[in-house]
Amino acid sequence: MLTVDELMTREVITLEADAALAQVDDLLKRHHIRHLPVVQGRKLVGLVSHRDLIRALARQSAQKKMQPFSVKEVMTREVETVEPHVSAREAIDRLLENRFGCLPVVDEGGHLLGIVTESDFLRLARRLLEERERRWAGLEPPASSGY
């Protein structure tokens, strides 16, 4: 059984809840990512995404005040997480059912260990397709069944 532990990104870019929203934009662009776990020490306390950033900027424009937001004002606090021993299939089901782009990976104490994203599963799918193509390369097509 393939587990989340085997697929997750371990070196995760994170921020503290008091960080300015401008820092979110900088980190998302610089690292070409869409999700930033928010931590206090090593403990996961929230998640801020590219979508959260857009929503915050739209809200700021509507208020016509240029008061800067902090991460804690826009982050999602109730974050669905997964533990590293969970099967890849279960993690995929959670992403699909909830239309999430990622699942932070935490230990029993809620400490961030990594993150598993849609991109991680696309890389897995590509690897499996490549393996399948290599197995079938050079083989004769299945014999006709006469139908």
Measuring CA to CA, which residue among 38, 57, 56 is closest to residue 46? 38
What are phi and psi for residue 67, nearest 5 degrees? -85, 120
For the chain, give the number of residues: 147
Q: How far apart are CA 101 and CA 95, in angstroms?
A: 7
Q: What digits encode the pLDDT tens for the residues 106-129?
A: 999 999 999 999 999 999 999 999
Q: How much of the chain, in percent, has pLDDT values that exceed 70?
A: 87
Domain assignments of the chain as residue spans, ordered by start: 4-135
Is the separation of the CB atoms in 93 and 100 below 8 Å?
A: no
Are 94 and 100 spatial neighbours (Cβ–Cβ below 8 Å)? yes
Q: How many CA atoms lie within 13 A of 44 on its CB side?
A: 28
- Structure tokens, 56: 């915050």
Residue 53 predicted with pLDDT over 90? no
DSSP E strand boundaries for 90-130: 102-106, 112-117
Q: What local confidence, expressed as pLDDT, does residue 147 receive?
A: 44
The DSSP letter of residue 108 is T
- The per-residue pLDDT for 61 is 65
pTM for the whole structure: 0.82
Residue 50 has pLDDT above 80, yes or no: yes
> What is d(CA 71, CA 59) in angstroms, rounded to the nearest whole number?
14
CATH class of 4-135: alpha beta
CA distance 112 to 34: 17
